[in-house]
């Protein structure tokens, strides 16, 4: 498996965790689960299956410094720079042509930096199992057996089993489904043959490039221009030029929904959590006896329940609460947010409003 | 009137405005109404009626530095040091014997540093009017015509008019009433012959000392010991010794409720507000269109109403709120408080809990 590469997508901003997540400290760099950041965990959990030299970190230029600081062992040429966010299809395409330049039939795992995975051993076992079907030409995705009728994830419809590797069966995928409404999510859960789309994929680089040719010809044309420039002094400039022409599109909508030969490795017990919002954090992290989620150094809480209290590391202030319920309180060096758990999914509205005022961009 | 002195009581802590009010920045030093602190306003509003050299500031030693910083013109010997808080009766007693040492028949006005007074001209007119009845031996108090059935103040029952000075009638006081319950407060308001007890008094020093002799013999004995020591090198030490023996008692309970010959100058339009609690501030300061009281440098508030948002000067953080109502949010350098307007009167409970833990005294 020495042609097995991993691409960790680490360029997101994570505005739904604002203001803890900000431009200069995006979500994947936050240590929400102990000492290590989501990014550090994302890098470390693929070892020793895929060694550091076959790891590629896809991100925007502004984040490279912080990411290298968090994982000093990462080589400078391990970064794939997106000139600007243009969706996962564009990132995957850039990664695919870059790896193809090294090895036209390399296998690449596409991994995320903003999910928590409790069982890292199981993840490596799944990634190891995915290698051979990918090498054989399948587009492999990891699907998570749902534990609740979540409307926050896309779903995969499970088809018949078509093989087994390393104790893991793999199945055809009948269809990809967008994030459903509540009623549909409940139907999926009851039906039992739907999986959460984890956003983790494994495929041969030439196979995914074929699919871009078929389903995203504009992106494929841009990638062809980049391929010509790779290894020359104009490579960076060409990527930037191509990027300006790209629409933002996800790999799920752009390719997976229409691709041939998609298979899924179903899994449970991976301890896989999207940590995309304050409410998700509240749902997955342990609460105190009053149902509060406390990520604060120093707190005094009287008659306080159902409340999420988050303090940015380095803040030394006391958070004091009295007689409040079901709030979200986020105390950072530059912004203090107070909202309710009901409304916390809408912090994006605050971010959007701040974006419209250049004098307030320092709070983003 | 060159024997007319003013004693400003400026030793309080103001825990009900915690955490904006703290040990090292007590309430009277806060600039809640523009640029000047409550203490600065309290000092400046008696000029030119009573000049700086006849002003005495009663406070605890720990606060002298900050108060002098705020009013550099105050002479060092203008401070009357209470070794520890022992209630207003003890402070008034100390001030009375100290002034009596200079002029046995001096008139002293007892003034507060933690009330806001909008109409400073009217205050000086009232203080000027109070001088002669005080010189004549009356115990003069200023009474405020109530504008609402407040349970937060003590009340005076107005008796017959017994004179007039400078256009201000003065009346006998029939009785002093403690802070009433809501029903009683409404009865007082409807009756029309009850005034708020402002806590501002004017009397001759020998007259108030007489009353201590009659109604507070223990305090009077202590004051006699202090009188003997005044002007000697042991004065400070004797004050400290006496202070250890004193019970804490207010001038209202200890003297005024039982004293002979109390008269009141009724007033309205003084713009007199006790700023004793977050709810009082909310009641008296101008609100925005959503009914929020905003004392913050930088705020973004969506769907936020009835909320008090207070930021300590010097804090440069953005306060962001979304979908919250009727909260109290206080953002300071060392503590962040989030409570409701309903519960804000009970911040004292948080303070008490912090007092029990020496490792947390830095938050007080």
User: Would you list the DSSP string of B270-320?
Assistant: S-EEE--SHHHHHHHSPP-TTS-EEE-SSEEEES-BS-EEEE-TT--PEEE
The residue among B274, B300, B318 that closes a domain is B274
Q: Please tell me whether residues A121 and A74 are part of one structural domain.
A: yes
The dihedrals phi and psi of A298, each to the nearest 5 degrees, come to -140, 125
- Contact flag B303-A363 (C-beta cutoff 8 Å): no
Q: A–B: how many Cβ contacts below 8 A?
A: 121
pLDDT of residue B27: 92
User: Rg for chain B (alpha carbons), in Å?
Assistant: 21
| A353 vs B: CB within 8 A | yes
B20 and B133 share a domain?
A: yes
Same domain, A302 and A229: no
Q: Are residues B305 and B232 in the same domain?
A: no
Residues A282 and A237 in one domain: no
Overall number of domains in chain B? 2
CA distance B320 to A26: 19
CA A208 to chain centre: 19
Span A167-176, mean pLDDT? Answer: 94
Q: What is the mean pLDDT of residues A336-357?
A: 94
For residues A270 and A298, membership in a common domain is answered with: no
Helix (H) or strand (E) holding B264: strand B262-267
User: How many CB atoms sit inside 10 A of residue B97's CB?
Assistant: 24
Q: What is the pLDDT of residue B34?
A: 83
Whether residue B125 is found in the same domain as residue B259? yes
* Whether B324 contacts chain A with CB within 8 A: yes
Contact A337/B321, CB-based, under 8 Å? yes
Q: What is the least distance, in Å, from the CA of A46 to any CA of chain B?
A: 38
Q: Does residue B9 sit in the same domain as residue B149?
A: yes
Residue A222 has pLDDT above 90, yes or no: yes
Is beta strand B168-177 parallel, antiparallel or unpaired with respect to B194-204? Answer: unpaired
∠ Cα B88 B94 B99 (to 5°): 125
Q: What angle do CA B301, B306, B311 make, to 5 degrees?
A: 60
Q: Alpha-carbon distance B60 to B114, whole Å?
A: 15
B360–A contact, CB cutoff 8 A: yes
B306 contacts in A (CB within 8 Å)?
none
Q: Over 90: is that where the pLDDT of A280 sits?
A: no
State in Å, rounded, how far the first CA of chain A is from the last one: 42
| Predicted pLDDT at A275 | 82
Is the model's pLDDT at A65 over the cut of 90? yes
Instruction: Give B62-117 as a 3 state SS string.
Output: HHHHHHHHHCCCCCHHHEEEECCCCHHHHHHHHHHHHHHHHCCCCEEEEEECCEEE
- The H or E element spanning position A79 is strand A79-82
pLDDT tens digits, one per residue of A287-305 = 999 999 999 989 999 999 9
- Roughly what angle, to the nearest 10 degrees, separates helices B205-215 and B217-229? 130
Cβ–Cβ contact A104 with B under 8 A: no
Q: What SS3 state is found at A40?
A: helix
Question: What's the average model confidence in pLDDT over A315-327?
Answer: 95
Strands A335-340 and B318-322: parallel
The full DSSP string for A247-273 is: PP--HIIIIITT-SSEEEEEE-SS-EE
The reply to whether B357 touches chain A by the CB within 8 Å rule is no
Asked whether residue A283 carries a pLDDT value surpassing 90, the answer given is no
Residue A212 shares a structural domain with residue A293: no
CATH number of the domain at A188, please. Answer: 3.90.550.10
Boundary (domain end) residue, out of B242, B274, B306: B274
| Sheet (strand A335-340) strand order | A293-295, A308-311, A327-331, A335-340, B318-322, B299-302
Residue B314 pLDDT: 85
- How far is it, in rounded angstroms, from Cα B287 to Cα B232? 54
Asked if residue A222 and residue A350 are part of one domain, the reply reads no
- At residue A1, the pLDDT reads 85
B300 touches chain A (CB under 8 A): yes
ipTM: 0.84
Q: Look at residue A151 and tell me whether its pLDDT is greater than 90.
A: no
Q: Which of A233, A251, A274 is the last residue of a domain?
A: A274
Residue A14 has pLDDT above 90, yes or no: no
Give A153-197 as a DSSP string: S-EEEEEEEEEEETTEEEEEEEEEEPPP-HHHHHHHHHHS-EEEE
Contact B331 A336 (CB under 8 A): yes
Distance from CA of A336 to the nearest CA of B (A): 5
Q: Do A319 and B336 touch (CB under 8 A)?
A: yes
Confidence (pLDDT) at B316: 86
**How much is the pLDDT for B217?**
96
Write the DSSP symbol of residue B247. P
DSSP bridge partners of B177: B155
Q: What is the mean pLDDT of each run of 10 residues along chain B (364 residues)?
A: 95 88 91 90 95 95 94 92 93 97 96 93 97 96 94 92 94 93 96 95 98 96 97 95 93 89 94 87 92 94 97 91 98 96 93 94 93
Of B319, B334, B343, the CB nearest to A323: B343
Parallel, antiparallel, or unpaired: how do β-strands B327-331 and B335-340 relate?
Answer: antiparallel
| A334 with B343: Cβ contact below 8 A | no
Please tell me if residue B337 touches chain A, with a CB cutoff of 8 Å. yes
pLDDT for position B114: 87
**What is the domain range of residue B353?**
278-363
Report the pLDDT value the prediction gives residue A19, as an integer from 0 to 100.
96
Where do the H-state alpha helices sit in chain B?
A: 38-44, 61-70, 87-102, 120-135, 182-191, 205-215, 217-229, 235-245, 251, 278-284, 347-355
| Weakest-pLDDT range from A12-21, A324-333, B113-122, B343-352 | A12-21
Q: From chain A, pick out residues whose CB is under 8 angstroms from the CB of B321.
A: 337-339
CA distance A83 to chain B (A): 30
CB A5 within 8 A of CB A56: yes
- If asked whether residues B30 and B56 sit together in one domain, one would say yes
If asked whether residues A267 and A322 sit together in one domain, one would say no
In the prediction, which pLDDT does A101 show?
95
Tell me the pTM. 0.85
Check CB contact under 8 Å for B302 and A329. no
């Amino acid at each position: 498996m020495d042609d097995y590469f991993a691409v960790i997508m680490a360029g997101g901003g994570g505005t739904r965790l604002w203001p803890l997540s900000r431009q200069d400290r995006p979500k994947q760099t936050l240590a929400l689960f102990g000492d290590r950041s989501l990014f550090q965990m994302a890098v470390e959990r693929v070892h020793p299956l895929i060694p550091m030299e076959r790891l590629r970190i896809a991100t925007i230029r502004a984040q490279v410094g912080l990411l290298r600081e968090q994982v000093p062992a990462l080589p400078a040429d391990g970064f794939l720079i997106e000139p600007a966010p243009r969706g996962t299809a564009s990132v995957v395409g850039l990664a695919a042509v870059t790896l193809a330049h090294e090895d036209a039939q390399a296998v690449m795992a596409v991994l995320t930096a903003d999910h928590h995975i409790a069982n890292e051993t199981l993840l490596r076992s799944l990634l190891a199992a995915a290698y051979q079907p990918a090498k054989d030409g399948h587009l492999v995705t990891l699907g998570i057996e749902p534990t609740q009728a979540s409307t926050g994830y896309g779903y995969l419809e499970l088809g018949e089993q078509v093989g087994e590797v390393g104790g893991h069966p793999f199945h055809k995928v009948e269809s990809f489904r967008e994030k459903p409404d509540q009623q549909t999510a409940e139907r999926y859960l009851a039906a039992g043959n739907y999986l959460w789309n984890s956003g983790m994929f494994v495929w041969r680089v030439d196979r995914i490039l074929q699919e871009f040719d078929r389903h995203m010809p504009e992106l494929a044309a841009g990638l062809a221009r980049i391929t010509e420039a790779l290894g020359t002094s104009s490579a960076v400039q060409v990527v930037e030029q191509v990027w300006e022409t790209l629409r933002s599109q996800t790999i799920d909508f752009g390719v997976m929904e229409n691709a041939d030969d998609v298979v899924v490795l179903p899994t449970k017990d991976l301890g896989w959590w999207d940590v995309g919002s304050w409410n998700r954090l509240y749902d997955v992290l342990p609460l105190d006896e009053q149902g509060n989620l406390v990520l604060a150094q120093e707190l005094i809480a009287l008659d306080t329940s159902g409340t999420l209290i988050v303090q940015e590391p380095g803040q030394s202030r006391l958070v004091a609460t009295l007689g409040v319920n079901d709030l979200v309180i986020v105390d950072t060096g530059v912004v203090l947010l107070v909202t309710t758990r009901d409304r916390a999914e809408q912090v994006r509205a605050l971010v959007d409003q701040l974006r419209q005022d250049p004098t307030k961009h320092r709070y983003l």
